[in-house]
Structure 1
Amino acid sequence: MSSPRRQRKHLHHHHYRHDTEAAVSANRIITCYASSSDRVPLPYQQAAYALGREIARRGWVQRNGGGRHGLMGSLTDGGLDAGGAVDAVILDVFTEQNCHPRLERVKVVADMSERKHGLYREADAYIALPGGLGTLEELAEVLSWRQLAFHNKPIVLYNVDGFWDPLICWLERAVALNMVSTDMVSRQLLQCADSAAEVCCLLETHFAAGVVSAEPCHPCSARIATVRPPASTTGPEEAGDGASRPPCKTDPGWLAAADAQHYSVRADWTRLTLAKESER
């Protein structure tokens, strides 16, 4: 990865043939991580709004955390104002007071883990806008999983006003000290762009190359720990006294069942009316 300044200069010279746009836009889901603070400076909100419009203009579906304020709200407004599709994954405790009132497709979940996985699953790309600790947590997770090959989806930093420059410098230093894989640099697992159009051009390039898999793999499916005890010892399914035990959580059968149960998300989108009623 080049330095922030050199990388931005390189991206400014990035060109994309827009006649391929229609061929690579169908049914793409773009997950956006962003601040939901209502105190974010106006230029950042305008940048988020512009990205929402750019995503919609390409016929992609925008997915975010559902907040009504800050960059999250601006993303939604930009997408909907441009006639695009926007859906969200939001915590149940936020549905009445913080859910964006214009959203019609919302998946309500109980905790942050479910929320993160709802944003992760099905997505074709991940964009990190300026944000706080929640945004950093979400970005770190998808970036770590990208390095571990749990998915091969593009990840782009929307570097509004150099917001992500300190993170880029930290990452370059971590790579130089062998604390992060050099693949992060050599394979460009993380990319950076200064404008909404540049962000989307980078994604178009990935999609046109046809290298993005249909479904991401969750670490639960990666079978990292699937080694059973030797036959001479007591296994996870049967105790020494003959009584049955719950399946061990490193057992492949348990992992497959848990993965199927927890991450079948296509069918449980809910039309949210409660938040809209509270606005009237």
Structure 2
Amino acid sequence: MSALKSVCVYCGASNNVSDVYKNAGQQLGQKLAEHKSRLIYGGGSVGIMGIVADAVMDSGGEVTGIIPKFLDDYEVGHQHLTELIITENMHERKNLMAEKAESFVVLPGGLGTLEEFFEMVTWKQLGLHDKPIVIFNVNGFWDALVTLIDHQISEKFAREENRSLFTVATTVDEIIEQLETAPTPSGEVASKWT
């Protein structure tokens, strides 16, 4: 199964961010639709989340949003998607997103985006999935994160090979290229974790 078949995008839900991040989200959404990639994301209609989803839908693509009941109102669940799944809790949401996606792209975001990235990297480290993870380093947003991980490796808290658990891209075209050339994932998330 191609890593581009369904792409899970993690990103921020804030509207109070620079246009450079909003534009990057829109470009990614358009490019995913162009490549007939189904977007899997957190189901909100606000912030970069909403921008990516709208761009995919407006470009003729397909979107699956997954949002827990308690966040449906808070993050304003998107009502104009191909599919909106309401879950009971965050764990069910995140697990469904991981199961439905063949790859993960991490746009700029807040604490929740960081948590989602680290969860997927950790799951990959533990062999629970083998799906590609791409950090979209818009405007150097994730420089400090990459530096931190490199520091963990240099201080022996993480292994050198952990650096290959993800890749970094600075443009939408780089993301597509990295996903197109990634090894074909098995498509499974090991049940031993859930």
Q: Please state which band the TM-score falls in when normalised by the shorter chain.
A: over 0.9
Structure 2 matches for 1:1-280, cutoff 5 A? 24=2, 28-96=5-73, 98-185=76-163, 188-206=164-182, 209-210=183-184, 212-220=185-193
Unaligned runs of 5+ in 1: 1-22, 221-258, 260-280
Paired position in structure 2 for 1:19: none
Residues 145-176 of structure 1: CA deviation (Å, up to 9, x unaligned): 11111111100000010000000000001011
Q: Could you tell me whether the CA contact under 8 Å between 1:37 and 1:69 is conserved in 2? A: yes
Alpha-carbon distance between aligned partners in 2 of 1:218 and 1:203, rounded to the nearest angstrom: 24
> What is the CA distance between 1:94 and its match in structure 2?
3.2
After TM superposition, the runs of 4+ consecutive aligned structure 1 residues lying more than 2 A away are 23-26, 93-97
Q: Which has the higher contact order (CA 8 A, sep 6+)?
A: 2
CA contact under 8 A between 2:65 and 2:78: conserved in structure 1?
no
- Residue 121 of structure 1 aligns to a residue whose secondary structure is helix
Aligned-partner residue type, residue 158 of structure 2: V
Check conservation: 2:43, 2:65, Cα contact below 8 A: yes
1:100 maps to amino acid: H
Provide the C-alpha distance between the structure 1 equivalents of 2:31 and 2:82, rounded to a whole number of angstroms. 20
Instruction: Kindly state the Cα deviation for residue 214 of structure 1 after the two structures are TM-superposed.
Output: 2.6
* Contact 1:91/1:112 (<8 A) preserved: yes
Aligned alpha-carbon RMSD (Å): 1.7
More helix by percentage? 2
Question: Does the 8 A contact of 1:25 with 1:59 survive in 2?
Answer: no
Shift of 1:218: 3.8
* Structure that is richer in strand per residue: 2
The percentage of counterpart residues that share the same residue type is 32
Q: Measure the CA separation in 1 of the matches of 2:3 and 2:20.
A: 28
State TM-score, norm by structure 1. Answer: 0.65
Structure 2 CA distance for partners of 1:181 and 1:168, relative to 1, 3 Å: same
Equivalent residue pairs, number: 193
Contact 2:62 2:81 in 1 (8 A): no
- Alpha-carbon contact 2:3-2:131 (below 8 Å) kept: no
